[in-house]
A and B are shown apart, each in its own frame.
Chain A
Amino acid sequence: MARTTARPHPPPATAEPPPPRPARRRVGGPWTVAALCAVLAVSAVLAIGLGSAVIAPLDTLRYLWAGTSGGVIGAEEVTRYQITWQLRTPRVLLAAVVGAGLGAVGATVQALVRNPLADPFILGVSSAASVGAVSVGVWGVLGSLGVYAVSAGAFLGALGGTVLVYLASLSAGGVTPLRLVLTGVALSFGFQAVMGVIVYFVPGNEATSTVLFWTMGGFGAATWGSLPLVAAVVVGGIAALTSVSRRLDVITLGDETAASLGVDTDRLRRGLFLLTALMTGAMVAVSGAIGFVGLIVPHLVRIVAGAGHRRVLVVAPLVGAVFMVWVDLLARVVAAPREIPLGFITALVGVPVFVLLLRRRGYLFGGR
């Protein structure tokens, strides 16, 4: 378009003074990322060393080295090595992976449905996953999958639930964010009811404890075998999400504005719902539905790093991973040898931190 260099109008004599509010600091550059990676590594080593048997960080590193490179360790250390390498390492890695995934998916879903209360489970994924898992436990379907049957059930439940919510909220004009959220909330009550009915009519308390696990979450069942698939899905998923970060920015401007900027919101929503459902399903299948992380971490990150998804989708996974590693550590050491369900701790730790930050920084989302 033609350039007009002149300003449209001179400022009047009584020009308003520049606003007193200072420019906000934006965190999220390469240094932040490097620092967060370092924090994550240190947290992981500490978390692997801590527990009912405390292992010094240097020993932890030695065992990790032995585990990855097949190095030699003394015979008297075998038990400690086993604890470190076979039990805690996969568990801590799984916590990091799931924390990262929940952070990224939470940030994405909040932008997609344009709702600050959205989290990865807003579309009924967690209750649908529980229905799947409980069905497997009660009726023994998917028995051919052996130890992975329950996880597979949870995964299929999560995916099926999301598709159902999506279809139910489909209208002539595509899928509107609010309709999607409302449908998700309504259907998740439905899924909970189905689960309740199953648990009510099937005798035995195994189903009850299964339900508790899938709704509150935990990493107690982590093994090396459960790690690769979810890690691949989460890491690949986060990479895919970051590749559309600019379009995620645009979608928060509203669907009409997005269209005027050349972004097809219907297609983007559809694709990203499928992707986030896959990621959430894979995470729920190994850890149950861990609440609050996917809701709070994105907000925390936006408070310090700003709203742009190019930063948020890099920082939120790292913060989520660090947070989850520490929460899982708390879950297994605070009341050892018993484990506290993760959902309790994420809420007890996350909520106060969140409320404090919210008050301090004048954080705004969707209004004042």
Chain B
Amino acid sequence: MDLRMDGVSVTVDGTELVRELSLEVPGGRLVGLVGPNGSGKSTALRCVYRALRPSRGTVWLDGRDLSALSLRESARSVAALTQEGGSDLDFTAAEIVALGRTPHQRGNRPLDARERELCRSAMERMDVAHLADRGVLSLSGGERQRVLLARCLAQEPRVLVLDEPTNHLDVRHQVGLLSLVRRAGITVLVVLHDLNLAAAACDRVGVLSGGRLVASGTPRDVLVPELIERVFGVAATVVAHPRTGTPQLLYSLTDDTEKEG
């Protein structure tokens, strides 16, 4: 399923958080949004999972205007991992995952056998099956994050929106998560802080700065020292990953960085 943002602007209390953002995520591709704090990444994502209505512009889902769909309809196609950390109440992990079925359900009908199997396999894929009966409030941050991701998978999305999904995850689960969503064949729009992970995982990367898209393209084209310097204000050396060839950034804390890449 194709996702396309077309001239999306968001103004909240007179401040323009996102300006004229146009970005395309072709079906089955993984597109990353990177940018410094406050550059509008999360705000842009909110427009896709319907927590926020763009002030101007349109989000298209396979040629359909997202704002013309009901919340339930769009939730059947688009799942999101937000920055909200789970529930206030001590649901079990299995109960949280089952809530992923909400947009497909009417009222309080219990899940059928296929849906229970779906939830189980989602938990297995996120490596949280052993936590099924644990209360989510007693889990560690990383475990909880994986439970929430399993909920997204149980939603059977065709578009997955992830807001810093690797937060709290140990390195094994960071790599595991991104490998999993890459393989899953879903359209993914993801905000990542770690530029190296973004370079390794994303087909395309969009760079936001001050609410504007300042660059987009393949990681190799976008993640170059001049842009990193200009947008993030840090000096970085770009090297090719010795095995995969993807660009990887090396930062140095001192000023006497030798420019190489």
Secondary structure call for the B interface: mixed
> Which of these, A3, A9, A249, A262, contacts B76 with CB under 8 Å?
A262
Q: Which B83-140 residues have a C-beta within 8 angstroms of A?
A: 83-84, 86-92, 95-96, 99-100, 102-103, 105, 107-108, 121, 124-127, 130-135, 137-138
| Complexed CA–CA distance, A4 and B182 (Å) | 11
Q: Is B34's beta carbon under 8 Å from chain A?
A: no
Q: Who on chain A is nearest to B49 by CB?
A: A260
Give, as a whole number of angstroms, the nearest-CB distance from A307 to chain B.
4
Are A262 and B103 touching (Cβ within 8 A)? Answer: yes
Q: Is B172's beta carbon under 8 Å from chain A?
A: yes
| Complexed CA–CA distance, A246 and B121 (Å) | 22
| Complexed CA–CA distance, A249 and B126 (Å) | 22
> Chain A residues near B125 (CB, 8 Å)?
4, 7-8
Are A7 and B127 touching (Cβ within 8 A)? Answer: yes
> Chain B residues near A24 (CB, 8 Å)?
92, 133, 135
Q: Is A256's beta carbon under 8 Å from chain B?
A: yes
Give, as a whole number of angstroms, the nearest-CB distance from B98 to chain A.
9
Q: Who on chain B is nearest to A113 by CB?
A: B88
Are B89 and A307 touching (Cβ within 8 A)? Answer: yes
Contact flag A365-B71 (CB < 8 Å), given A1-B186, A4-B125, A243-B108 = no
Are A261 and B99 touching (Cβ within 8 A)? Answer: yes
Stretch in B173-181, B219-227, B234-242, B243-251 touching the partner: B173-181
Q: Is B29's beta carbon under 8 Å from chain A?
A: no
> Chain A residues near B79 (CB, 8 Å)?
260
Are B88 and A257 touching (Cβ within 8 A)? Answer: no
Are A260 and B89 touching (Cβ within 8 A)? Answer: no
Stretch in A11-19, A55-63, A68-76, A273-281 touching the partner: A11-19
Say which size band chain A's interface belongs to: 35 or more
Q: Who on chain A is nearest to B132 by CB?
A: A23
Give, as a whole number of angstroms, the nearest-CB distance from A270 to chain B.
15
Are A9 and B185 touching (Cβ within 8 A)? Answer: no
Contact flag A260-B80 (CB < 8 Å), given A19-B134, A21-B134, A365-B88 = yes
> Which of these, B126, B138, B172, B183, contacts A364 with CB under 8 Å?
B138
Give, as a whole number of angstroms, the nearest-CB distance from B203 to chain A.
16
Are A363 and B103 touching (Cβ within 8 A)? Answer: no
Tally of A-B Cβ pairs under 8 angstroms:
151
Q: Is A2's beta carbon under 8 Å from chain B?
A: yes
| Complexed CA–CA distance, A302 and B78 (Å) | 31
Among A250, A259, A362, A366, max chain B CB count under 10 A is at A259
Q: Is A339's beta carbon under 8 Å from chain B?
A: no
Contact flag A302-B89 (CB < 8 Å), given A8-B125, A8-B127 = yes
Are B179 and A9 touching (Cβ within 8 A)? Answer: yes
| Complexed CA–CA distance, A241 and B49 (Å) | 27
| Complexed CA–CA distance, A286 and B224 (Å) | 72
Q: Is B214's beta carbon under 8 Å from chain A?
A: no
Q: Is B82's beta carbon under 8 Å from chain A?
A: yes
Q: Is A245's beta carbon under 8 Å from chain B?
A: yes
Q: Which A144-179 residues have a C-beta within 8 angstroms of B?
A: 172
> Chain A residues near B51 (CB, 8 Å)?
255-256, 259-260
Are B137 and A367 touching (Cβ within 8 A)? Answer: yes
Q: Which B7-58 residues have a C-beta within 8 angstroms of A?
A: 13, 46, 49-51
Are A307 and B134 touching (Cβ within 8 A)? Answer: no
Are B92 and A306 touching (Cβ within 8 A)? Answer: yes
Contact flag A7-B185 (CB < 8 Å), given A246-B108, A253-B99 = no
Q: Is A368's beta carbon under 8 Å from chain B?
A: yes
Q: Is A88's beta carbon under 8 Å from chain B?
A: no
> Chain B residues near A5 (CB, 8 Å)?
121
> Which of these, A4, A9, A172, A260, contacts B82 with CB under 8 Å?
A260
Are B127 and A253 touching (Cβ within 8 A)? Answer: no
| Complexed CA–CA distance, A271 and B103 (Å) | 19
Are B75 and A257 touching (Cβ within 8 A)? Answer: no
Are B103 and A261 touching (Cβ within 8 A)? Answer: yes
Q: Who on chain A is nearest to B78 by CB?
A: A260
Q: Which A326-368 residues have a C-beta within 8 angstroms of B?
A: 362-368
Are B74 and A262 touching (Cβ within 8 A)? Answer: yes
> Which of these, B49, B130, B179, contacts A256 with CB under 8 Å?
B49
Q: Who on chain B is nearest to A246 by CB?
A: B108
> Which of these, A247, A253, A262, contacts B87 with CB under 8 Å?
A253
Q: Is A254's beta carbon under 8 Å from chain B?
A: yes
Are B176 and A8 touching (Cβ within 8 A)? Answer: yes
Are A252 and B87 touching (Cβ within 8 A)? Answer: yes
> Chain B residues near A269 (CB, 8 Å)?
none
Q: A interface vs B, CB < 8 Å?
A: 1-5, 7-9, 11-12, 18-19, 21, 23-24, 111, 114, 116, 172, 242-243, 245-247, 249-250, 252-257, 259-264, 302, 306-308, 310, 362-368
New A-B pairs, 9, CB < 8 Å, besides A1-B184, A247-B102, A262-B76: A1-B158, A2-B184, A2-B185, A8-B126, A18-B130, A256-B83, A257-B84, A307-B90, A308-B95
Task: List the 8 shortest-distance A-B pairs measured between CB atoms, nearest first.
Answer: A262-B75, A254-B84, A23-B133, A2-B185, A260-B80, A262-B103, A307-B89, A262-B72
5 pairs, A vs B, C-beta closer than 8 Å:
A1-B184, A8-B177, A9-B175, A24-B133, A256-B49
